[in-house]
Structure 1
Amino acid sequence: MYFPGNGSYDVLPNSSYDPCDGVAVCLSQPCDPSSSLAFTRVFIPVLYSAVFLVGLLGNGLVVGVLSRSLRRLAATEMYVLHLAAADLLLVVGLPFWAAESANEWVFGHAACKLLGALYNVSFYSSIYLLGCISFDRYLSIVHAVELYKRRRPWRVYLSCSALWLFCLLLAVPDFVFLHSMRVNGSQKCAHNYGANNSKGWIVGLRCFYHVTGFLLPLGVMGYSYLKIGLTLAQSHSSQRPRERRALKVMAAVVAVFFLCWTPYNVVMFLETLHRLGALGRDCSAEGRMDTGYILAACLGNLHCCLNPFLYALAGAKFRSRMFECLGALGCPFARQWCSVPRSQRQRHSVVTISESGDTSYSAF
């Protein structure tokens, strides 16, 4: 699995082009990586600093606002709260990876394992929670089955706890194989699977990620929101502008996920073939692939900044709670907004009609 800031430092000896024949674990590369490293030292620190600030503000705001109303949260809102928490955990590690890209890893062996595992836990949790949100909306709107709103919040807590535990188990290889080591002449936080098991571990983990971290969530979201869209399109409600807005929000959720993570999966697949020797050696192509890998991974990490806007900040219900929270803190503008009657505040909310006619969907 890729870690932000270090390119792709899974240590993999390959006898077809290994320049250090006879060494159990080779940490050098046959091509000069100076051009891609120079690009990395400038681009990643700048981008990750911006992602850190925006992600910290957006996800922190979602966590702060929703945490004030824990007992009143619906199932989907609870998932959104956990989604924001996962994205928040992801962004807090970005300054460390940015510092590594600018220079080298100076935070020690234990921090390498902990921050690397934390990144994967938050990464998988965020993606799986997106699937949970879409499936929950699918059940409540298309089938009018509100499993978690029948006053059994323990089901939501159990689902989220099981999801976090599963993602923690997925991070076990990071605790085992991540090391602070010399790579290309500098100290990096990298995976070292050993000379005999490198190919098996890399291929296995990356195939697992392609299926469970991209294709499966994309399929769940695409199917769920497609069925929701068809249900809305076939409804005879007079609230047509609201339905159109709901369709746009759902289309944006799937489109953003696809656009952010598809380039990364494509480049990772090609890079895996390249590292395993399935593709011919070419230093100029290798340099372009390294740069493309970095750009694609950075694009994927931007997704954690967009989730708050897609799932929370775009909805009238969440905005209402946010202004109430700011008003309680003494913000004059928020107090003025809170003085407006609730019926007028909800004028721009997104509402969808279920088959039973009693299920409302606001983008929180």
Structure 2
Amino acid sequence: MENDSVSDSEDVVYFCDEIFDFATISGSLFLLVFIISLAGNSLLLIVLVVNKNLKNVTNLLVLNLACSDLVFTVTLPFWATFYLHNWVFGDFGCKFIAAAYFVGLYSSVILLTAMTVDRFITVVLQKWPSNSVRQRCAMGACAAAWVISIAVSLSDAMHVKVETHWNNVTTCEYSSDDPDFKLGYYLQVSLLFFLPFVIIVFCYTAILKTVLGSSNRKRRRTVVVVFCIVSAFFICWGPYNIILLIERWYEPKRCNAKERLIIAFHICELLGYSHCCVNPLLYMLSQKVRKQLLHLLTCNKVLREKREKGIIPNLSVTQNVLELHQKDT
């Protein structure tokens, strides 16, 4: 509803009595995303650590990506509480949760870029000297991803604070009082989102041209899985970053325009936040991962049933016997 204007000036600001509260829906869905992401990424980590060879560069990068998603995931209950009720975790909690949020987000971008560049070099250039060199480069990229994301997130956290507004609503949000805030924000978005996007588009254009002309099915499957993971990131986070830029430049005057912008923001935010539970689902496209997960779950189930029936009295004893048998042979 739009109140009557008190002036005919073009700069009149309309005060809205009621705007559709999409934040409540977002808060509820954040909890659902949290549960799916926590379960999916935890299972993926178990599969990678127990059954996969972590010397494989792609697996190493996916392992770090799963850790990145989990760091992001643990912040979701706090944002859900904020949307459903209020910010009740204090100023330190605001800065800490914001820092964890940005660590998860920025490390994902850097790791996905590293994963794409690795695919580009191995598929298109084919110039890695050896697997050991490639592995060291991957470990360096993972370390750099965490160091850079932590450093940048600490800077971001300094600009976040708790504010209580006129309607007694307490929020945890950016403080735009700093004159250098907007410039720093645009540089950050450019360097940590749009620049990686350009690099990834360039690399995958060359990769697809090379793979389409190749008859190596194994290489194709690996490229397809990595391509899906990277594409999902930009499909999820692209609209959110665009809507943030629109919010910085455009301030709606009328209630219906303001309501549409708020609803669009929450939808894009929900799409972006849901990305943390997408990667485990996409990685299950790999037939090997599905088999290993099924094998892991089946083995655990069988062992548990046998222990309950008394067939296997104690797992640790069985393991000791097997170890002694291996030594004797």
- Asked whether the two chains share a fold, i.e. TM above 0.5, the reply is yes
Contact kept, 8 Å, 2:55 with 2:135, in 1: the verdict is no
Residue identity opposite 2:277 in structure 1: C
CA distance in 2, matches of 1:113, 1:155: 32
Once residues 169 and 236 of structure 1 are traced to their aligned partners in structure 2, the CA distance between those partners, rounded to angstroms, is 43
In structure 2, relative to structure 1, the CA distance for the partners of 1:73 and 1:321 (3 Å cut) is farther
Which residue is equivalent to 2:195?
216
1:57-136 map, 5 Å: 57-68=39-50, 72-136=54-118
Matched, 1:293 2:265: yes
Contact 1:121 1:171 in 2 (8 A): yes
For residue 317 of structure 1, report the CA deviation from its aligned partner.
Answer: 2.8
Counterpart residue type for residue 262 of structure 1: G
**Residue type of the alignment partner of 1:211:** S
Q: Which amino acid aligns with 1:182?
A: T
1:158-177 to 2 correspondences below 5 Å: 158-177=140-159
Gaps of 5+ in 2: 1-9, 304-329
Q: 1:141 to 1:61 in 2, by over 3 A?
A: same
Q: What secondary structure, in the 3-state scheme, does the structure 2 residue paired with 1:302 have?
A: helix
Q: CA deviation at 1:246?
A: 5.8
| Alignment-derived partner of residue 276 in structure 2 | 304
Q: Identity percentage over the alignment?
A: 28
Larger radius of gyration: 2
Partner of 2:209: 230
1:314 deviates by 1.1
> What CA distance in whole angstroms lies between the structure 1 residues aligned with 2:242 and 2:273?
15
- Give the unaligned 5+ runs of structure 1: 1-15, 20-29, 333-364
Query: 1:260 and 1:246, CA in 2 relative to 1: closer, same or farther beyond 3 A?
Result: same
The structure carrying a bigger helix percent of its residues is: 2
What is the alpha-carbon root mean square deviation over aligned residues? 2.8
The one-character-per-residue Cα deviations of 1:143-200 (angstroms, maximum 9, x if unpaired) are 2234672267444333211211111111123332222221353111122243xx24x3
Q: Counterparts of 1:123 and 1:290 in 2: how far apart (Å)? A: 22
Q: Which residue of 1 aligns with 2:175?
A: 192
Per-residue CA deviations over 1:256-286 (Å, capped at 9, x if unaligned) read 33432232222222111125xxxx6223212
Q: Report how far residue 65 of structure 1 moved.
A: 1.7
**TM norm structure 2:** 0.79
Q: What SS is found at the alignment partner of 1:330?
A: helix
Q: CA deviation at 1:111?
A: 0.9
Alpha-carbon spacing, 1:298–1:72, altered in 2? closer, same or farther (3 Å): closer
- Provide TM-score, normalisation by structure 1: 0.72
Partner of 1:257 in structure 2? 233
Matched, 1:313 2:290: no
Tell me if structure 1 keeps the 8 A contact 2:121–2:128. Answer: yes
Q: Is the 8 A contact 1:134 1:225 kept in 2?
A: yes
Indicate how the Cα distance of structure 1 residues 246 and 213 shifts in structure 2: closer, same or farther if over 3 A, else same.
same
Q: Which residue of 2 aligns with 1:266?
A: 242
Which one of the candidate residues 19, 28, 38 is aligned to 1:35?
19
Instruction: Answer whether contact 1:59 1:308 (CA < 8 A) is retained.
Output: yes
Equivalent residue letter for 1:234: G
Q: Partner amino acid for 1:322? A: L
Distance 1:160 1:244 in 2: 24
